[in-house]
Amino acid sequence: MSDKATTVHIQTYGCQMNLADSRTVETLLRNAGFHIADGIEKADVILVNTCAVRDSAEQRAFGKLNSLSRWKSEGRIIGILGCIPQELKEDLRSRMPFLDLIVGPDDYRELPRLIDERLGLASDEPAYVATRLSRSELYDEILPHVTGDVSAFVTITRGCDKFCTYCVVPFVRGRERSRPLSSITAEVEALVARGTREVMLLGQNVDAYRWESKSFADCLSAVAEVKGLERVRFLTSHPQDIHVSLFEVMAANPKICPYLHLPVQSGSNRILGLMNRGYTRERYIDIIEEARALVSGIALSTDIIVGFPSETEREFEETLELAEQIRFDSAFMFKYSVRPNTKAAKMPDDVPEPEKIRRLEKLIAQQNGISRQRNKAQIGRVDEVLIEGFSPKNNKWLFGRTPDFRPVVFSPNGEGPGQVIKLRLTELRGFTFVGEHIIK
C-alpha cells in the first residue's frame, strides 16, 4: 500500500494518445492513493511520458530527462514512460543511469507497485524495467480523472497492425485492439456528467475499430447519441481502412464535426509502395472527393513526409502537386528520420539532409499559402463556436473552435467555457480567427 503523502508529477510529450495515456496513469495512481502534483517542486516522483515517433521527438525527451536528473540528488524518483522505454528497454539503464523506472505503454497498471517498491530502495539501485507488450490491455475500465475539461480524449483503439515501413508504433504500442463499445459510451457519459462537451475519439487508426459486429461508423453514431454531448471528433484515419459509411454517418449527424485528418504521406505511388501505405495517390484523391461530396464544408488535414529513402526530385514534386490539387486546410509536414528496427531503417537514407530541409521548406511555404487562402475565404462566415477556455495569449479573451476545428478568439459578453455561441469570423491573426458577436 502506498504512502498516502507520495505525490507524482507527470510531464507528457508527443501525440494525443500520449496525453490520453497520461490521464490513465494519473487515474491509476490516484486510485492507488497517490497525489498528483502540478509542479515538480512538490513531487516525490517525476514521470516523463515520451514519444519515439520521430528522432527529433526522442531527442527532445532525452534533453528533458537529462535536465531533470538534478532532482535525483534531492531524493526524487525519476521514471520514463511511453514509447521510448518500449523501444530501448534495458539499454536505457546505461544510457540514463539516474532513472528509477522504465515503463512501457502496456505496463502502466504496474506503476503503483513499482513506485512503492522503489520508495524503499537506495537511489543507486538499477532502474526497474517493465516493458511487456500486451495483445489485450485496453485500460478500458479506467475512467480518466477529468474535472470539467470542455474537450476530452477517449481512446477507442490501441496499437497498430499497419507496419508502415518508417514507423515504430507497431513495435512500441503493440498489435491493434479495439475497446468494447459499451465501455467507450460509459466513459463518454461519465465525462459529460463532469462537464465535458466534446470528445475526441483516439486511435492510431480509428477506421480499424471493430467490436463484435460494430464498425468505426457505428462507434461514432453511438457516441454521438450520448445525451448532453455537444461534439464528437476523431483522430487518426487511414486511407486503407476508411469506408464511405463514415462519411454517411458524418453527414447524417450534426454532432460529428466536419473535420478529417487523413495522412497521405507522399504523392508518389512508388514511395507510397515503399512506405507500405496500402493505397495509391489515385485512391487517396477518390476518398477526398467522396468526403467532400458527402460531408458539407468538411475541413481536411494531413501528414506528409519528405525525403523518404530514394525519393527523387520528381517524386517530391508529385507530393507538391497532390497538395496543390487537394488544397488541404492544414498539414503536419516532416522530413524523414530513420527509426531503429523499422524496415525503412534498412534502406539507404540517401536524400542528403540539406535536400530534405529544402524540400520541407518548399512544401511548408506552399501549404501555408494554401491554408491562408482557405482561411481567408471563411472571413465573414457565421458559425457556432464551442468555448474551450481563455485565450493563451490574452486572458481577457476567450478561445474556442468552430465545428471544422478553426481556432477563434473573441472578447466575451458574459459567456464562459463549455458554452456554444454564434460568432462572425471577422479577421485573421496568423492562423487564428477573431470572432464577433452577432448584433440582432
Instruction: List residues binding ligand SF4 (CB under 6 A).
Output: 160, 162-164, 167, 169-170, 204-205, 238
Pairing state of beta strands 177-178 and 157-158? antiparallel
Residue closer to ligand SF4 by CB (options 76, 238) is 238
In the structure grid, which three cell numbers stand for residue 329, read together? 486546410
CB of 277 to ligand SF4, least distance (A): 7
Residue closer to ligand SF4 by CB (options 263, 400) is 263
CB atoms under 10 Å from CB of 69, counted, come to 14
Residue closer to ligand SF4 by CB (options 111, 206) is 206
Burial class (CB in 10 A: 0-12, 13-18, 19+), 110: middle
Residue closer to ligand SF4 by CB (options 339, 401) is 339
Structure letter (DSSP) for residue 435: E
- Long-range CB contacts (within 8 A, 24+) of 160-164: 160/204, 160/205, 160/208, 161/208, 162/204, 162/205, 162/238, 162/240, 162/276, 162/278, 163/276, 163/343, 164/265, 164/275, 164/276, 164/277
Distances (CA, A) of 208 to 19, 194, 258, 299: 21, 29, 20, 22
CB of 50 to ligand SF4, least distance (A): 16
CB of 169 to ligand SF4, least distance (A): 4
Residue closer to ligand SF4 by CB (options 170, 267) is 170
CB of 160 to ligand SF4, least distance (A): 3
Residue closer to ligand SF4 by CB (options 164, 387) is 164
Three-class SS state of 437: strand
CB of 334 to ligand SF4, least distance (A): 11
Q: In DSSP terms, which residues pair with 434 in a beta bridge?
A: 409, 427
Interatomic CA distance for residues 239 and 243, integer angstroms: 9
CB of 242 to ligand SF4, least distance (A): 12
CB of 176 to ligand SF4, least distance (A): 8
Interatomic CA distance for residues 272 and 280, integer angstroms: 7
CB of 307 to ligand SF4, least distance (A): 16
Residue closer to ligand SF4 by CB (options 330, 342) is 342
Q: In DSSP terms, which residues pair with 330 in a beta bridge?
A: 301
Interatomic CA distance for residues 159 and 136, integer angstroms: 10
Residue closer to ligand SF4 by CB (options 15, 322) is 15
Q: Looking up cell 481563455, which residue turns up?
A: 390
- The dihedrals phi and psi of 52, each to the nearest 5 degrees, come to -120, 15
